[in-house]
A = this chain, B = another copy of it.
Amino acid sequence: MSQPGGPLSQLRRGHEELVLGLLRKHGPLSRGELGRRCGLSRTTLYDILAELVAGGAVVTASERETPRGRGRPAETLTLNPDAGQAIGIDFARRGLHVAAINLAHEIVGSASEPHDADLPWEQRVELAGRLVGSLTGGTLSLGALSAIGVGVVGPVGDPVGDPVGDPVGDPVGDPAVDPAVDPDRGPEEDGAGEPAGPHPAQVLLRERFGVPVLLDNNTRLAALGEAIWGAAAGVQDVLYLRLSHGVGGGLVVGGSLHRGAYGLSGEFGHITVDQDGARCDCGGTGCLETIASIRAVLDAYRAAGGRAGDVPELAKAARAGDAAALAVLDGAGAGIGGVLAALCNAIGPSVIVVGGELAETGSSLMDPIERELRAHVMPISRHRVSLRRATLGEVAGALGGIALVLHESPLLSRYPAGPELAEDPPTTQSGRRPAKENP
């Protein structure tokens, strides 16, 4: 057999995509018609078709009537209209977000539910199941579910945690997260070294849904979501910064999520902005997070004599012209803009997306960010990079989970029409969005 990722394996996947693309474009085709169009030998084509039929992506006319009723005697093959559905789940720190797409890659709905930060994984997955059920009432057949893409808090290595093939039974395969790192605590010193097992969300979701479960950091997934469906839809090189209880982000490079060598990219919140600054939870000093997280900004506002219990109150004060609120947001924005300028010079994105609850403070924060970005980015880039606020709200991570399935799973070949994704903005079934992002 060929090695995964080797030229023969890639070639085979290319063959699968070609066959699926032809069925998608032309509708039902006989084996002979497929053979003439794809240029593959009879042996190769029949092998590929057998695998696609066994995997449920393609059905023969004897299993399902051909829609056009051409009345040919030869058996025809067609895409399975019940396959190709996917769900994205964002297990954020204090809440759960789910989104689902149908065969046409249309987002059929999304839903969110807050919960305590210490809710056990069993109950989180139970809650996820209920939310998915609420989405799939009339529009999705759970039996046709192909894969689930999941976002979690904290560092994640290889996103594909689950081999394809027999969708039920086997224990989850590849490790995808370092168990020494508590996924609810974010980055911290790890003494344990290498990853040693699957994430609990993967194990429990696979038990419940019986399908492959792909996993990545939820902030990185939000970056991917914004680059496909959101503020940077269709843009190939995107830098996404999330200003929330923590400060983090993600990079989309050439249209793909960038992870870095150890799954540790996008940790913009732990870039030093003040060597003499405050101690950070990561163990560092003067990290961006110490001046630009929700807590940091609210603390600074209170220290300046302001009164605000949360971000909406701070935003309200800023809109009302409260000098202390404006000064605090200006200071945070300046620090953020300086970091973004440095990253721009290094990485060269065309769009920077700023999301998270703090971005809801609007121009009081975005204007100083933009000012410092333009002041410190190389002059040649100054008028090229675009700064935008995130648009997907709190479901960005769940949508990114779906994108993970579409882009990166071995099931990719079941979804040959990725680029169409950007055309359909998400609809909301639960009515909870737009609201805060990934709380």
Give residues in A with beta carbon < 8 Å to B: 7-8, 10-11, 14-15, 17-18, 21, 35, 39-44, 155, 181, 187-190, 235-237, 249, 251, 253-254, 258-268, 270-272, 275, 282-284, 338-339, 341-343, 345-351, 376, 378-382, 384-385, 416
Q: How far is the CA of A236 from the CA of B263 in the complex (A)?
A: 13
Chain B residues within an 8 Å CB radius of A17 = 7, 11
Q: Are A346 and B349 in contact (CB under 8 A)?
A: no
**A40, closest chain B residue (CB):** B41
Identify A347's interface contact among B11, B21, B251, B270, CB under 8 A. B251
Chain B residues within an 8 Å CB radius of A416 = 7
Q: How far is the CA of A242 from the CA of B267 in the complex (A)?
A: 24
Chain B residues within an 8 Å CB radius of A347 = 251, 258, 260, 265, 346-347
Q: Are B7 and A348 in contact (CB under 8 A)?
A: no
Q: Which one of A43, A251, A260 has the greatest number of beta carbons of chain B within 10 Å? A: A260
Identify A376's interface contact among B14, B43, B251, B284, CB under 8 A. B284
State the Cβ distance, A305 to closest chain B Cβ, in Å. 27
Q: Are B380 and A346 in contact (CB under 8 A)?
A: no
Given A18-B8, A41-B39, A348:B260 Cβ within 8 A: yes
Chain B residues within an 8 Å CB radius of A249 = 346
Q: How far is the CA of A259 from the CA of B41 in the complex (A)?
A: 39
**A41, closest chain B residue (CB):** B41
Q: How far is the CA of A380 from the CA of B193 in the complex (A)?
A: 10
Q: How far is the CA of A285 from the CA of B41 in the complex (A)?
A: 63
Q: Can you list 19 contacts pairing A with B, beta carbon distance less than 8 Å?
A: A7-B21, A40-B44, A188-B379, A235-B261, A237-B260, A237-B261, A251-B347, A259-B348, A261-B350, A261-B384, A265-B347, A265-B348, A267-B345, A270-B345, A271-B345, A272-B376, A282-B378, A342-B343, A343-B346
Closest 8 CB pairs of A and B: A260-B348, A261-B350, A265-B348, A39-B44, A237-B261, A271-B342, A189-B379, A283-B379
Chain B residues within an 8 Å CB radius of A18 = 7-8, 11
Q: Are A188 and B342 in contact (CB under 8 A)?
A: no
Q: Are B271 and A346 in contact (CB under 8 A)?
A: yes
Given A15-B11, A264-B378, A345-B271, A40:B39 Cβ within 8 A: yes
**A178, closest chain B residue (CB):** B380
Given A14-B11, A39-B43, A266:B346 Cβ within 8 A: yes
Q: How far is the CA of A260 from the CA of B349 in the complex (A)?
A: 6
Chain B residues within an 8 Å CB radius of A346 = 249, 251, 265-268, 271, 343, 346-347
